[in-house]
Amino acid sequence: MTHEPMIPILLDTDIGSDIDDAVCLAYLLRQPRCELLGITTVTGEAQKRAMLADAVCRAAGRTDIPIHSGAEQPFLISQQQAQAPQSEILPDFPHRNDFAPNTAVEFLRQTIRSRPGEITLLTIGPLTNIGLLFALDPEVAGMLKGLVLMSGIFTTGGSGAREWNTMGDPHASAIVYRAPVAPHISIGLDVTMQCRMDTQQCRQRLHGGPLDVVAKMAEVWFRGVGHITFHDPLAATVIFQPDLCRYQDGTVDIELASPAVPGMALWNPHTDPKPHRIAVEVDAERFFEHYFAVTT
């Protein structure tokens, strides 16, 4: 009997705003092939976001995963996500509350350098931490086994369409897309939007272990939105099940010159070389089957 190998992963997240980060973390905690080496948090109230990540981990029986609070402010623009609204659920669940500020980038740097060529970095928030990491230690990008981002809009959306993570820190995004990582894979909003579940279905299916905390966080989210789009979970699942999506290779550039659309991802499939891979299609039914087969 053969066993598929474990995949070492670092997760960078803005858990606590959109609910899909927590939905993604629950998947990684339940995925038997995931060796989750650590979690880093980014954007406003990064320490509260670390507490939320810890609460989800503890609900899965995991107190061994390093969690580090990261950058709260983008490189040059104003912060568009100053608070972590789902942190209101923290009094209801056990969690650490002693996270030091701004330890994420050094943790990422040391961890990647300790296992060169082994680690896949999964980013599901604005790219400030990763932009800082690659700016401070340019060699570390080439020491990754791969980089997977929930980032960008590539094949639909029209002129000027932007996605939250790339526009949240466009200058950091530009650094990340220029980094020499292979493979460099983006799962864009145009594809993730096909993976949506309404409130009633989510309430029926999000339960058990870490999903109990996620479900409580989701109730905060449901006050403003009547569904969950599984943006970040799709980016996580393709690490383990790549054929859930179809891909295209080319080059992604991040718009910085235009004050109207900073952070817009510019996709060109006709370049040579083709350093970036984007998802262009997803089998949403198979995605949901896979996600819930792992998590429940």
Residue 276: CATH number of its domain: 3.90.245.10
Q: Count the domains in the chain.
A: 1
12 CB neighbour count, 10 Å cutoff: 26
Ranges in the chain, pLDDT < 50: 1-2
Give, as one character, the DSSP assignment of residue 183.
Answer: S
- Whether 1 maps to a domain, the answer reads no
Closest among 222, 240, 226 to 286, alpha carbons compared = 240
- Can you give the pLDDT at residue 3? 77
Distance from C-alpha of 23 to C-alpha of 232, rounded to nearest angstrom: 8
Six token digits for residue 18: 């959109």
- Can you give the pLDDT at residue 1? 40
- Whether 2 maps to a domain, the answer reads no
Distance from C-alpha of 84 to C-alpha of 53, rounded to nearest angstrom: 12
Over residues 174-210, the pLDDT tens digits come to 999 999 999 999 999 999 999 999 999 999 999 999 9
- Can you give the pLDDT at residue 39? 98
- Whether 205 maps to a domain, the answer reads yes
Distance from C-alpha of 56 to C-alpha of 42, rounded to nearest angstrom: 17
How far is residue 40 from each of residues 13, 66, 169, measured CA to CA in Å? 6, 8, 16
Find where tokens 């370049």 sit. Answer: 271
- Can you give the pLDDT at residue 157? 63
Distance from C-alpha of 204 to C-alpha of 161, rounded to nearest angstrom: 33
- Can you give the pLDDT at residue 244? 98
- Whether 267 maps to a domain, the answer reads yes
pTM: predicted TM-score of the whole model, two decimal places = 0.97
SS (H, E, C) 43-108: CCCHHHHHHHHHHHHHHCCCCCCCEEECCCCCCCCCCCCCCCHHHHHHHHCCCCCCCCCCCHHHHH
- Whether 250 maps to a domain, the answer reads yes
* Residues of the domain holding 79: 7-295
- Whether 86 maps to a domain, the answer reads yes
Beta strands 184-187 and 196-198 are unpaired
